[in-house]
Structure formats: C-alpha cells, structure tokens
Structure 1
Amino acid sequence: MRISILKSLKPDIIVEMLKMAVAFENWKKVMETADILYQCVQRIYEERQYHKAMNLPIPYVQLERPLVYYFGLSHQMCGMAYQHQGAYEQARECIYKYAELGWMEDLEEEGMLVVEEFRFLAKNNLYAVDILSGNIELVEEYVAFLQDHPEEILPGLNTILQAALMYHLDVGDTLHTLAEQIDEFESYEDVENVSYYYSYCYHLAMYYRKYDRLQDAVGLTLQAMQLADQSGNDGQFKRCTALFESLREFATAEQIGEYREMLMQCLDEYGTDSISL
C-alpha cells in the first residue's frame, strides 16, 4: 500500500473496522483489514525509529493504546480468521508472531503490559489451534488451564465442543467440571461475550443432537437463535433456523410456538404483511 495512503489511515478506526468484520464473520475481510492495520503501524514504527536515529523530534500520532497493541491485534485477528477457516498451520504462525512482541523498542511500562497480555492470549489460542488440528490429548491439560483462568472458559468451551464434534469426543465430564461457571454465561451482556455464548449454545446443541439428547438440543438451538437475533447476525440466525428444522419433530408445541414467534418478528422487521408458518 502506498505510503501516502498509509499516512492518512488512523489505527483506531481500522480496529473498529476489524471488530465489525469479526462480528459478521467475514473472514476474508478480517484478513485484509488486519493486513492494513499491520502495514499502518509498521510505517508509524519505522518512522519513529528513523527520527530517533537521526535525533529528530518523534512524529506525534494519536493512538488510544500503545503501538505494540496494534501489532499484536493485527496478528491475532489474522490468526482468528485462519482458525475459523480451518487453516490451523497458518493460524499457528500468526500466534507465534504475537506470542513475543518484546522485540519492539521503547515499550515502556504500559507497552510491556500489552506484551504480557498478548503472550497469555497466544498460550490460550495455541491450545485451541492444537486441539482443533487433532491434538486431542491436550484437552485435559486445557481444561486445567481454563480452571485457572475463568475468563477464558466460555471461548475455551467453544473450542472443546468443536473438537468434540470433529473428533467424536465425549466431553460430558468437562461440561460437568465447568458447570458452575457455565451457569454464569447467561448474565453476559457485552458484544464479544454474547457472540461467544451464541457459539457455545449452537455447538452444544449440535453436540447434543449428535448424542441423541434431542430435547436439550432443541432448547439450546432456540437460545442460540435468540442470541443471533440479538446480535443482528443473519448468518448465525440462518444456521440456527436450519438446525431447528432438523430437530422440529422433537420440539414441544411450546418450543415450536417460540420458534414461530421469532420468525414472525423477523418478518415484521422486514415489513412483510403476513405469512403462514
């Protein structure tokens, strides 16, 4: 990208664009935007280092966070996109890049804290990529890690459930072990955790469907549907609709009524007068 264009970009605005692309699971856009963010902050860093070497005043760039944060985030988001597309080796390479950001100069105390945060995220995300790529012997160790870091239990359970579906694992004991923390998930309200909770409900519904706990699967599908609607994510809502239809014969009359009500609300939002369901 041309230097003149990079100079006109603001890292914090690019971060917001990244978050939007992640929310809509547009992984191609996530990777493109993460690359733009990396190029932008790389230019800022190189310019700072040049001015420092030449004993010139350091150019001021307004940033909400230390520069190292944007380097780490660009690699983390790119890794997330690769992971969601099943490209685990490429995801692992991205993780290695933000696992050690201490190479940057002039980090100061705030920057060093960011380096430590990304080092922790890298450890957590490396567990996820390794397990999803087939190293299922790590599940028990990962559960112990999650118990030591409760804030990671929700995304961690998503990883374990996905692995269970991919590799035919029985994770009933894991769900029992983390039951107390699982009960707290419904109280989450921030966008990121609502998204994780949707994913948890959806994957658990798929897991229960696979193991013939069909009534439980129906209830979780409806819950995931509500969260998808709450988040305004049409792709997630469509997946839940397809999953519910595959389970419809096992739903109670009350659950079918709840399902119809959600669909009617969607129709009302799009201005459709009426339809028989």
Structure 2
Amino acid sequence: MKHAPTIRAELDRYLKQESMSLTQFGHIAGMNRGIVSAIVTGNKSMSVNQLDLITEAMDLPEGYFYDLFIENYIIDTPPNMRRIEPFLFRCAELDKLDAIRRVVGSIMDNVLYSPKLFDIAEVLLAQGRHEAALLLYEGVAEAEKYQHSERLAICQYRIFTIQIGDDQSRNLKAATLFEPFVERLDEIEQLDALKDLANVYRSLRKWDKVEEVARIMRAKAEIQYTLKHEQKSRERNEFTKKLTRPLFVYISYADLLCASVYEAQGDYDKALQYTYAYANLDWVKETDEDTRHWISLFGHWAKANSIVNKLLSGDISVLSEYVEYIDASIDATQEDRIVQLLNILIAANQYGIDVNSIIKRFETDIASLSQQLTSGGMYNQQVVPDYFAWCGYELAYYYLNQGIYSDGFKHLMYSMVSYHTLNNETYFINCMGLFLHFRDHAVPETKADFLNLIEKVWMNNVKKNGTVDHCG
C-alpha cells in the first residue's frame, strides 16, 4: 500500500538533500530550531503562516504544499477552525479556489461549522474576494438547505448578488433560484433584495415579474415606513439603517418601476399616473440631506419621464421640450445620456422622425458606447449594458432606414456583439434579422465580419452544449 506524502516527509527529504541542519533551515525560514524540529519529528502541527515560511525557505511557489496541508491537517484530523480560518483567508489571497472547495467539502458534513464559515464568507465579500466568498456561501447553503433559517436566506441572497453579471441567461436562473428565499430574510433586508430582483428582471425585460416584485416591495416598504413613524423608537431607526437607501425610496422606486412596466407595454396613460405618483413626495416626513437628494432625483426623473411618455405616445410636439431638458441637465451621467438618446431613437424609429441634428449632440456619448459602465445608482450593473446594447440597435435601425449604411452596420455589429456577451438570444436574433434585411447594402468587409461573428457564436454554442463540432 502506497502512503500519501506528508509535508513533514518533504521537509525532511529537503534537509537531507541540501545537507542542511535544523538550525540553518530555521535561520533561513525565520523560525527557531525547536519549532522546525517539532514539525519534522511530527510532534507539532503547523499553521499556514509557518507553512508559507517553510515553502519560501525551500524556494518553492506560494501555496505549493496547500493540497498536502489539507490532506495532513484538515482531512486527516478533527477540524480545527483556528487552523482552518487563516488557511481559507490565505487561499483566497492566492486565488486557490480549488483548495477552498476541498476544505468546505471536507468539513461541511457537520452544520456546526456553518456559522463560522458564514462569518468568514462575509469578511471575504467585504474584501471584494467574491469567488472565494461564493464557495463558502454555497457550502453553508448546501449544509443548511433543509433548515428554515435566516442564515440560509442570506447565503442565497449573497449567492444571487455575486452570480449576477453579463450573462442574462445566467441572471434569470439566479433570480429564479433566489426569489423563494426573499421572505426568509429579515423584514428590512427584504427591501434591498426585492429592489435587486426587480432590477434584474428589468434588465431582462420580464415586465410581469418587474411589476409583481415592485408591488410586493411597495407594500412592505409602506408597512415599515408606517411603523418607523408610529414607534419612533431608536431600535426601529437602527433597524432601518441597514438599508442602502432611505426607507421612502423603496416606495417611490416601486412606482417608478411600475411606470417603466406600463411604458414598455405601450400604456402611456398609466405610465404617467405612476410617474406623477413618484413625483409627488409631499408625504415624506424626513428632511435630512440624503432625503432631499433623493427627492430631487425623483423630481428629475419624473420630469424627464413625463415628457418621454408623451413623446413615445406619439406627441411629437414635446421633442423640442425634451431636447431643452437634456441640454439643461448639466449633471447628467453618461448612463443618463444614453437613456435619453435611446428614448429619442425609439420615438424616431416608431414615428419616422428625422433626428439627425439631435443625434449630433450625442456624438461623444455614441463614440463611447462600447465602454462598459457600472452603475452606482438605483439601476444595477445589468440594466446599463442592456440599455447600451439596445441603444446600438436603435441607432443601427435609424441609420439603415436613413440610408446611412456605414454607420448603421457599425452600430448593428456593436449591438450584436453586446447581446452575444449578454447571452440574450432574442435580441441577438433581432439584430440578425435587421442585418439580413439590409444585407444588399453591406460592403464585403462588413458581410465577412457578420459571418465571422455568427460562426463564433455557433462555435461557442457547440462548446457549451456539447454538440458535434465537425462538419462534412
């Protein structure tokens, strides 16, 4: 029977090979002779810090012995969190995710370790080590999957937020898996969870889900707002401090979401009703600076969206008013500018309006369309890339129908690549249809780029789905 190697044996072999005494090695490693001797003889286990010193002294890469450390000191011995915790943090620093996965798998048969692993995951998340934190959250969630615990719900919330990214297909799956756990979160944390869910569904244009989640969020936020001002207790105020926004924002943002739902569905009258609702915030009792900031934002959004709703409903007379509003918005972010351009293009394409002179005002924004921005506002990072891809499509549609084929195909290719990155098959196919409709006007280089992209998408799908990848 072949025995598994040990770090102790590897160190002993190295000392003999180099003809090095324990004292000499200890001097190189920055450890006293007694500790080195105890480790070599097996009379003492070692910490990850000591292991790192030994590894460096042996002139080996960082983390070289981590797999053996797991075998020798975690799997083969009763779990000791005083040893495991610093090891997990060190693995996260070195991005050794497989090692973290092995440790979690070896100790999570016992749910008693869940609280400590959860705490470690929270620290890693705060440090920005999301992939490492994800492995711990998943381990805790798996161990507690039959528990009706708040910790399980928080793990699922963290897993959801970490997994959300560019891939809209993956985002939909993450949202669907997380949604049943929202009710298990504490009453305040539910509000941020619902906001995040609504934003993901909005980026996916799942308007029925946006409305459903928004209405739930509004009802819960109204209850909490009433309680806050009825009780006026320090405990209640401390409770609501956990929110990322002032409490009233969740009520008003729910109205804004519902307005966006009806706007997308073409019910502009109802969209205006909700817009007027979040514009009127006289009921808000707070007067602090943060509250005033958000009230100002909602007023800004309401003014813009009320004009947009009229414009999209076919009232072309408000277009000049909208342009004046845009010109006056000196604090508008690039995200705001792209949304403003998108609204104009949708109306132009729907009602056949010539907006060439208006588009020129957005030349800088159009030139930077390909830059992926992250949003720090109420929109999450998924909504912004979708708007950018959508704006590229509407620009392409406008230019191609205007006979400006070079710019049209350029923006269409950008939109296609963006929707491929977002893994949004529906809108990728829309782009393909638009290209094929105008293909006779494409130069050979553009046709070649289009065919190369289609082949790349096909090959990616072959790899992902395991389809036969040869022809003939």
TM range (shorter): 0.7 to 0.9
- 2:262 aligned with 1:88, yes or no? no
Aligned partner of 1:237 in structure 2 is 428
Match of 1:153 among 337, 342, 352: 337
Aligned partner of 1:211 in structure 2 is 402
Aligned partner of 1:182 in structure 2 is 366
Aligned partner of 1:164 in structure 2 is 348
Aligned CA distance change for structure 1 residues 183 and 214 (closer, same or farther; 3 Å): closer
Q: Which secondary structure does the structure 2 equivalent of 1:232 belong to?
A: coil
Q: How far apart are the structure 1 equivalents of 2:251 and 2:324? A: 30
Sequence identity percentage: 23
* CA apart distance, 1:188: 4.1
Aligned partner of 1:68 in structure 2 is 248
Q: How far apart are the structure 2 equivalents of 1:30 and 1:87? A: 15
Preserved CA contact (<8 Å) 1:102 1:115 = no
Larger RCO, structure (CA 8 Å, separation 6 or more) = 1
- 2:204 aligned with 1:24, yes or no? yes
Map Cα deviations across residues 176-231 of structure 1 (whole Å, 9 max, x no partner).
23324433333343344432221221111111232223343222211111111222
TM-score, normalization: structure 1?
0.88
- 2:235 aligned with 1:51, yes or no? no
Amino acid aligned to 2:324: A
- 2:417 aligned with 1:226, yes or no? yes
- 2:222 aligned with 1:42, yes or no? yes
Gaps of 5+ in 1: none
Match of 2:294 among 110, 114, 118: 114
* CA apart distance, 1:275: 7.6
Q: How far apart are the structure 2 equivalents of 1:117 and 1:129? A: 18
Q: How far apart are the structure 2 equivalents of 1:6 and 1:95? A: 31
Structure showing greater Rg:
2
Amino acid aligned to 1:156: Q
Cα RMSD (Å): 2.3
Preserved CA contact (<8 Å) 1:41 1:70 = yes
Aligned partner of 1:198 in structure 2 is 389
* CA apart distance, 1:246: 1.4
Q: How far apart are the structure 2 equivalents of 1:238 and 1:43? A: 44
Match of 2:324 among 129, 144, 147: 144
The aligned runs of 1:94-105 (5 Å cut-off) are 94-105=274-285
* CA apart distance, 1:7: 8.0
Preserved CA contact (<8 Å) 2:281 2:295 = yes
Preserved CA contact (<8 Å) 1:68 1:107 = no
Q: How far apart are the structure 2 equivalents of 1:164 and 1:14? A: 34
Map Cα deviations across residues 30-89 of structure 1 (whole Å, 9 max, x no partner).
11111111011011112223323xx79536243111102211211111111111111111
More helix by share: 1
Q: Which secondary structure does the structure 2 equivalent of 1:58 belong to?
A: helix
Aligned CA distance change for structure 1 residues 56 and 177 (closer, same or farther; 3 Å): closer
Preserved CA contact (<8 Å) 2:225 2:248 = no
Q: How far apart are the structure 2 equivalents of 1:74 and 1:172? A: 35
Q: How far apart are the structure 2 equivalents of 1:275 and 1:258? A: 22
User: Aligned residue pairs: how many?
Assistant: 270
**Higher deviation after alignment, 144-153 or 216-225:** 144-153
**Higher deviation after alignment, 131-140 or 182-191:** 182-191
Q: How far apart are the structure 1 equivalents of 2:367 and 2:447? A: 25
Q: How far apart are the structure 1 equivalents of 2:468 and 2:185? A: 50
Preserved CA contact (<8 Å) 1:95 1:126 = yes
Aligned CA distance change for structure 1 residues 275 and 122 (closer, same or farther; 3 Å): farther
Aligned CA distance change for structure 1 residues 219 and 183 (closer, same or farther; 3 Å): closer
- 2:436 aligned with 1:256, yes or no? no
Q: How far apart are the structure 2 equivalents of 1:87 and 1:194? A: 25
Q: How far apart are the structure 2 equivalents of 1:73 and 1:201? A: 27
Q: How far apart are the structure 1 equivalents of 2:468 and 2:368? A: 39
Amino acid aligned to 1:261: N
Map Cα deviations across residues 232-273 of structure 1 (whole Å, 9 max, x no partner).
322221211221121222222322222222223322333334
Aligned partner of 1:78 in structure 2 is 258
Map Cα deviations across residues 121-172 of structure 1 (whole Å, 9 max, x no partner).
1111111111111221111121122122243321111111111122221111
Q: How far apart are the structure 1 equivalents of 2:435 and 2:193? A: 38
